């Protein structure tokens, strides 16, 4: 896979510190959950990821998997490299196995940006399952 290092003209570069985004952002809901400052129903915890139940589930199983470090969206995480995007998806699969939805199937959803309805500016993947999914979504 070829990743372009070229940024469209007129677009600012992502804000980075030492090659990665800030570890946490004070007003970020998911940073607060990852730090244990905001309560959540934790499903799985790892060194660099954490998974918890969505407070507004759209399926019988609806779990969010987030990075502990703050990245604004999936595009920023992919651009950062370092294998964390792979780890995030791997954790999503572990959630599916733990929740018993892996044999019948599940959906992973990344919403990136306003038009995609990303409501929290911290990269996260939705793990949805436990019922047949329709197509097209949304």
Where in the sequence numbering do the catalytic residues fall? 124
For residues 111 and 119, give the distance between their C-alpha atoms in angstroms, rounded to a whole number: 8
For residues 116 and 130, give the distance between their C-alpha atoms in angstroms, rounded to a whole number: 23
Count the residues in the chain: 138
Residue 51, strand partner residues: 44, 65
């Amino acid at each position: 896979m070829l990743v372009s290092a070229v940024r469209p003209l007129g677009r600012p570069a992502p804000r980075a510190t030492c090659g990665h985004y800030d570890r946490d952002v004070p007003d970020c809901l998911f940073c607060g959950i990852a730090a244990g400052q905001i309560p959540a129903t934790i499903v799985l915890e790892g060194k660099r990821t954490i998974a918890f139940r969505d407070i507004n589930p759209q399926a019988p199983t609806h779990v969010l998997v987030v990075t502990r470090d703050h990245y604004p969206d999936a595009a920023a995480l992919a651009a950062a490299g370092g294998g964390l995007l792979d780890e995030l998806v791997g954790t999503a699969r572990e959630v599916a196995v733990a929740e018993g939805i892996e044999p019948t199937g599940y959906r992973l959803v990344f919403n990136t940006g306003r038009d995609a309805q990303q409501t929290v500016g911290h990269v996260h993947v939705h793990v949805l399952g436990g019922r047949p999914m329709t197509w097209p979504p949304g």
